[in-house]
Chain A
Amino acid sequence: MSLGTGIRLADLIAAICFVLALKGLTSPKTARYGNLLGAGGMTLAIAITFATNGLTHFLLIAAAMVIGAVVAVPAARLVKMTAMPQMVAAFNGVGGGAAALIALATFLRAPAGSLAIYQVIEVLLGVIIGSISFSGSCIAFAKLQELMTGRPITYPGQQVWNGIVAVAIFGLGIALCATTANWLVAVVLALALVFGIAFVLPIGGADVPVLISLLNSFTGLAVAASGFVLHSVVLVVAGTLVGASGTLLTHMMSRAMGRSLPNILFSAFGSVITAAGGAEGDTTRSVRSASAEDVAILLSYANKVIVVPGYGLAVAQAQHTIRELADLLEARGIEVIYAIHPVAGRMPGHMNVLLAEANVPYEQLKEMDEANPEFQSADVALVVGANDVVNPAAKNDPSSPIYGMPILAVDEARNIVFMKRSMRPGFAGIDNELLFDPKTTLLFGDAKDSLTKVVAAVKAM
């Protein structure tokens, strides 16, 4: 068996590992095993690449890999669970960047005029999609890390400008097929970077996770394109797998938010004004706030409590405290369940990860469809750091930007307790009518402080 055949066989095994890894990731039981299998296939694919005929600069390659690993491992190990989405965005962005650089380097290497048109197209796809994914992920990271505002950024003629940039990229791409001038490809790369930024700016913070999923599938396609450039089957297979499954996942996520993908990507234009108008009118209305002791009494004499955890809970690292409270209440014979909105936290499934971290029993976590009928019979709905996912405006107010998003039917519970840091609107930047409802009690403060006080008060009773 020749070396070339060996490499091809190893690539095939790696490709099979990737498919099985994806398959494994679709079920909680096999997910971890699936991920390890993916890592195994990856190790094989990388190791066998060293045996490629004519490959040199081994020391440089090893040095670059060490640098990457030395940065990546601590970053991935130490990142807080709440900061996971932006971490994924960052790792996704650099992958897109690498794909773009590969296509660029291959193009620059070829003697002028030696590339067939389909080869130029392959390079262009790699450069364009990879660059968009890179700069888009950077902005998504900045939005989630709160380095910049999470609100949609809009300016007059935004769509027109984006359109012009897109047309320019397309036009220069065609020109490149004709002339293959080196400077043209640099301009295309720069324009694609600009487009990536411009395309992400108007997307609101709450929608960024869906965007990351979309950019993730973009990077997959960019990797597939660079696979075409390099004639590497394993790159084409893995990139395409991610491109296809990422597209489907993006669709599932946006469906969980009750919105279509075009709506998420392009709806910010105009919606900001409605939201701002609503917020202003409400500043004068009164709300009912209470002390931790009041909340403790309310909870202790309930028969059934439904906890609605949100991102605020995660930020305050209050997962363990909420579980302590739930345990205390259960010891008093009170039924406690957790109602998990599909996009609670900042990504679908994010909240499950966070609560699992605090050892909350899996069977107490109810998905939205299961939880909603339970609210009618609940004495208290305890909303901790969630806002948009319980906002009735999604049901009642067609002018609201979140109109149509499925929400948890918290308003059907007999009493509602909100734990909030302030009256500030949620991540989507919209006011919540429910806060002004007569059966709503507010407990202001950091979620962890508030919960700790409530726990102490329940213990004292």
Chain B
Amino acid sequence: MNGGDILSLITVFVLAAFVGFEVIAKVPSTLHTPLMSGTNAIHGVVLVGAMLVLGTASGATQMTLGFVAVVLATLNVVGGFVVTDRMLEMFKVKRPPKPPADSAGAVASSTEGGAK
């Protein structure tokens, strides 16, 4: 890697840091826990790095390190998203049960859309 590459990575780093700060500026405290869990899942992207290490490994040490890294990173990414989804499942908007059959669903949602 030459000097230009490291500089462009640093550029990406700095810009991503700004985006990270700005994008979550206003979060209701209700969502603090799901947000923490969601960001936890996103850093599971480390799996990509772990795959690169294992996929180019040679020798027992490298293979072991890579293998353990892939297992750990998969735990992070899969567990992270599933836990977050379970938390958020509970935030789904609860509509009062509608007596008419399914055909009323479309009507109901369109009136709700209009009310906003």
A→B interface (CB under 8 Å):
14, 18-19, 21-23, 25-29, 31-32, 34-36, 38-39, 42, 45-46, 49-50, 52, 54-58, 60-61, 64-65, 67-69, 71-73, 75-77, 79, 81, 84-85, 87-88, 90-92, 94-95, 97-99, 101-102, 104-106, 108-109, 118-119, 212-213, 216-217, 219-220, 223-224, 226-249, 252-253, 256, 342, 347-350, 352-353, 356-357, 359, 361-362, 367
Contact = CB atoms under 8 A, between A and B. Distances in A.
Given A35-B88, A252-B32, A242 B48 contact: no
Given A25-B38, A244-B17, 5 more contacts: A26-B27, A35-B85, A67-B74, A220-B43, A348-B32
A32 B41 CA distance: 13
Contacts of A64: 54, 67, 70-71, 74
Given A64-B67, A69-B74, A249-B35, A22 B45 contact: no
Contacts of B63: 57, 60
B92 A32 contact: yes
12 contacts: A34-B38, A42-B41, A71-B75, A87-B83, A91-B79, A95-B43, A98-B69, A212-B36, A219-B43, A232-B48, A243-B17, A356-B91
Nearest to B57: A57
B70 A22 contact: no
B22 to A, nearest CB: 9
Given A72-B79, A243-B17, A367-B29, A55 B52 contact: yes
Nearest to B93: A29
Interface of B: 1, 5-6, 9, 12-13, 16-21, 23-57, 61-63, 65-94
A55 B7 CA distance: 26
Contacts of B76: 91-92, 94-95, 98
